[in-house]
Amino acid sequence: MTTTVVQLAVGFPYREDPAHEYRVVKEISVRKFSMRDKIEVYGLAKKDPLTASCEFMSRVVVEPKLTRKQAEKISTSDRDIIMAQSYMFTRGPTARWAANCNNRMCGFAGEITVDLSEFEITYDTDGFYHLVGDEMHYTIQIDGVGDVVLKAITFVEQKKVSKIVKSGNELAGVYSLYAACLVKWGEDEGSGSKGTFTVDFLYDLTEDGDHTLIDQLEAKVDKADFGFPRSHIFECTSCGRESQFMIDMMSFFFQNPLMEEGA
Ligand SMILES: [Zn+2]
């Protein structure tokens, strides 16, 4: 079997079986995507893309061997990398991507061609994330609060907020995701332990119109976002101006059947 080695941006908690301790895996081997994978995983993605992404990773990651459950511990940053690397390994770096021109006078909406290998991936080389139990955590400092601990976004946190995201309220989705990732807020005992933060906690921070805390949180969480860039600049084929679109690797992946002729 042909495989390729892939470096991950964050790394994920992994253990062979419950008798072992969790360790962090930052380097994996992936194989190519087969016709069977395509039909079975894409079929699942139509109903449940989040579960399908874990199923996909459990298939193409060959070292270490992963069950779907184990794949649920992989951060969304690393998931994007695994998807993109697997795509490139199977089909080459060229991909078509749906994009709209931001120039209102132009209004181009269509597909552009991107070279996935040109996207600059950022890695957590300084050990910002660390293993706590079976989760990857990181600590940021917020003025007036102190240490704030968050966990990497994985299947579990995304699943928690998927209903809100599907409802179309994107901002509520973003804040719910922050709340789902929040582990500790400041030094004060009882201000919240693992898993007890709700989005109301974050909403209440701006109750008197002061957005200082939430602005700091957003800016610092953004800096912990390793992996693929979240947006891409392209030259519009219609008006020639530079435009930008947001990168959603999972949507891209499941909208681009890997084995399609000429894809
Ligand atoms: Zn344009």
pLDDT of 209 reads: 86
What are the residues whose beta carbon lies below 5 Å from ligand 1 (ion)? Answer: 101, 103, 106, 108, 236, 238-239
Is the pLDDT assigned to residue 259 strictly greater than 60?
no
pLDDT of 257 reads: 64
Residues 165 and 255 in one domain: no
Write the single-letter amino acid at 23.
R
Residues 109 and 160 in one domain: no
Number of domains in the chain: 2
Residues 110 and 161 in one domain: no
> Ligand 1 centre and the CA of 236: distance in Å?
5
Residues 94 and 137 in one domain: no
> Ligand 1 centre and the CA of 250: distance in Å?
25
The CATH number linked to 163 is: 3.30.2220
pLDDT of 260 reads: 59
Residues 11 and 70 in one domain: yes
pLDDT of 49 reads: 92
User: What's the rounded mean pLDDT across residues 28-41?
Assistant: 92
**Residue 41: both structure tokens together:** 């995983």
* Better pLDDT: 140 or 100: 140
> Ligand 1 centre and the CA of 235: distance in Å?
8
pLDDT of 30 reads: 97
> Ligand 1 centre and the CA of 170: distance in Å?
25
The answer to whether residue 237 is domain-embedded is: no
> Ligand 1 centre and the CA of 156: distance in Å?
38
pLDDT of 261 reads: 46
Is the pLDDT assigned to residue 192 strictly greater than 50?
no
Task: Find the Cα–Cα–Cα–Cα dihedral 247, 251, 256, 258, rounded to 10°.
Answer: 100
> Ligand 1 centre and the CA of 165: distance in Å?
29
Tell me the torsion sign for CA atoms 73, 17, 51, 261: positive
Q: Which residues pair with 29 in a beta bridge?
A: 5, 63
The answer to whether residue 85 is domain-embedded is: yes
Report pLDDT digits (tens) over 130-167.
999 999 999 999 998 889 999 999 999 999 998 888 88
The mean pLDDT value of the chain amounts to 90
The answer to whether residue 121 is domain-embedded is: no
Query: Distance between CA 43 and CA 62 in Å, rounded?
Result: 22
DSSP alpha helix (H) spans, the chain: 35-47, 49-60, 68-71, 76-91, 155-166, 170-181, 199-204, 212-223, 249-255
Whole-structure pTM value = 0.91
Residues 134 and 37 in one domain: no
Is the pLDDT assigned to residue 188 strictly greater than 70?
no
The answer to whether residue 190 is domain-embedded is: yes
Residues 172 and 205 in one domain: yes
Residues 64 and 140 in one domain: no
> Ligand 1 centre and the CA of 246: distance in Å?
16
DSSP alpha helix (H) spans, 190-230: 199-204, 212-223
Q: Which residues pair with 185 in a beta bridge?
A: 148
Rg (Cα) of the chain, in Å, rounded? 20
Range of the domain at 104: 3-116+248-260
Residues 106 and 137 in one domain: no
Contacts of 143 (CB under 8 A, 6+ apart): 212, 216
> Ligand 1 centre and the CA of 108: distance in Å?
5
